[in-house]
Amino acid sequence: MLHLDITDAAGTLTGSQSQVDPTPTSPWWADAVVYQVYIRSFADGSGDGIGDLAGLRARIPYLAELGVDAIWINPWYPSPQADAGYDVADYRDIEPDYGTLAEADLLLAEAHDAGIKVILDIVPNHTSDHHAWFQAALAGDEAARARYIFRPGKGEAGEIEPNDWKSIFGGPAWTRTNNPDGTPGEWYLHLFAREQPDLDWENPEVVAEFQDILRFWFDRGVDGFRIDVAHGLSKPEGLPDAGEITGLTQHDVPHPAWDNEGVHEIYRGWRKVADGYDPERVFVAEAWVPSNERLARYLRPDELHTAFQFDFLRAPFDASYMKSVVDDARATVAAAGGTTTWVLSNHDVVRHVTRYARSQPDHYVESVWDRLRWHEEPADIALGVRRARAASMFILGLPGTVYLYQGEELGLPEVEDVPDEARQDPVFRIRPAGDIGRDGCRIPLPWGGDGDATGFSPAGATGQPWLPQPANWSEFNAADQESDPDSVLNLYRAALRLRRDQFADVTGFEWVHTSDDVAAFRHGDVEVWLNTGSTPVALPGGEVLLASAHDAQPGFLAPASAAWLRRS
């Protein structure tokens, strides 16, 4: 990673690291806090045990009180739910379990009235196998077939997959079809589940269709899109074998399926669509690429506005490592003229309370996806919550866009003991070696109230939550945290209020102290201090605006805690 600082032996900053941040004319997303809504698990308004638009609409006041600037909603389109809605059957409608298009319009209006922008998920790498295009392709429609990636197999009878690519979810990335007469046919590519056939973005009909989908939702008032698998749309000519490269998520090693040059022309077309609206719409890319230098290519002025910077998802609770993440991200994104983004958890990884609740092993960077390894030692959830409070204050003090995953403001841990019979993630069903999947970070939220559903569903509901909530879930419920001034919820509310008051349209960033256990920076007139060590650290004086922990001696920063200071 890049390091822009020069420190002396004591860890005190000796060089000038001041960097200019966006000016007061920056767009709204440049310093926004965006709340991720995993709609199926957010709030159930109908009583059937599945989160829906009615539940989300009822919680708009909660989100406004929390202080978020926008919400990002995971896929809400009609879907067979083979992969939690990331298998889209119709991009211009609403999943019936969630509500109707008319309710979606009401949500947009109500969120905007509350001062909250709305970002949707779009899934352009693949469709559902129930999509009308794919069904037509299977029926022999050549035009529909050309919108997907069908190839003849190898071997005398075409019985071998066209190449050696593996699915993200396990097994080959190819499934063989039958011809209309019942004889074995060609294979189609699916880099995820077999129910998610990849589209062929060399086909101009695919390009035009998705630009029209963007306009459909922009015209309804949607403020932007999070792009699923943004690095995956363009495939290389000839679909070459990957050989020994098996890490399809491309966290460290390039794979021929990902991050090909063709994606950039696609996003130049999308940017033209977004720029045609006033106010301008925004894109954020989910692009898993080997380096921030590769990520910055997506942020060129005529491409996407922002992209997720995932290094904090892989970072241990270690001040020096976290500082290096900040430096690397800021340097590369600034070179591209983009906006940095910060995120600690999402719907695909172990919640950071649980990541921080265990020791910080050498394999930490890799094990964020290796859910089985989290069972190797007991989890100290109290320690995880304490560290999570500090890490959240650290990223909320940074310039750039912050993404919060639903429930992190309640201090929710990963649910690691979901019964096998209740698990629904295709990762659990398909991936070898018994990967337990992602259901543990998708458990329905505990809002409070009586009954087993802890307020997720309305009183008197007959439906059970679509994933079971653990017996101790009520300990984290929002209703009780409302009245506790020291709760995680009220810490987040205070931090978001201060962020808006202190950092809106503020320029200037510099490190003021760094060491193995301490990272401190100045953002505008506020200093943000983080102590990841096991002993108290002396603060430099000034007014403590907010602290993540309440057990420090006056003038000191407690272990595993953070504080915001205003220096006189």
Tell me, yes or no, if 228 is annotated catalytic: yes
Residues 6+ apart with CB under 8 A from 22: 30, 31, 339, 399, 505, 507
From the candidates 129, 200, 228, 303, give the one annotated as an active-site residue: 228
Contacts of 292 (CB under 8 A, 6+ apart): 309, 311, 328, 329, 331, 332, 333
Kindly give the pairing relationship between strand 556-557 and strand 526-531: unpaired
- Distance CA(123)–CA(188), nearest Å, equals 18
Active site residue 311: no
Q: Per the residue annotation, which of 209, 286, 366, 510 is the catalytic one? A: 286
Euclidean distance between CA atoms 499 and 410, whole angstroms? 19
Look at the block and give the residue holding tokens 């990841």. Answer: 532
Nearest by Cα to 467 from 514, 418, 534, 396: 418
At 284 the three-state DSSP class reads: strand
Positive/negative CA dihedral, 49, 51, 57, 63: positive
DSSP-derived letter for residue 204 is: H
Could you give the maximum distance between any two Cα atoms of the chain, in Å? Answer: 81
DSSP per residue, 120-163: EEE--SB--TTSHHHHHHHTT-HHHHTTB-EEPPBSTTS-B-SS
Q: What is the dihedral of CA 470, 475, 479, 485, to 10 degrees?
A: -150
CA 319 to chain centre: 22
Amino acid at position 32, single letter: A
CB atoms within 10 A of CB 309: 25
What residues contact residue 237 under an 8 Å CB cut-off, 6+ apart? none
Instruction: Write down how long the chain is.
Output: 568
Active site residues: 228, 286
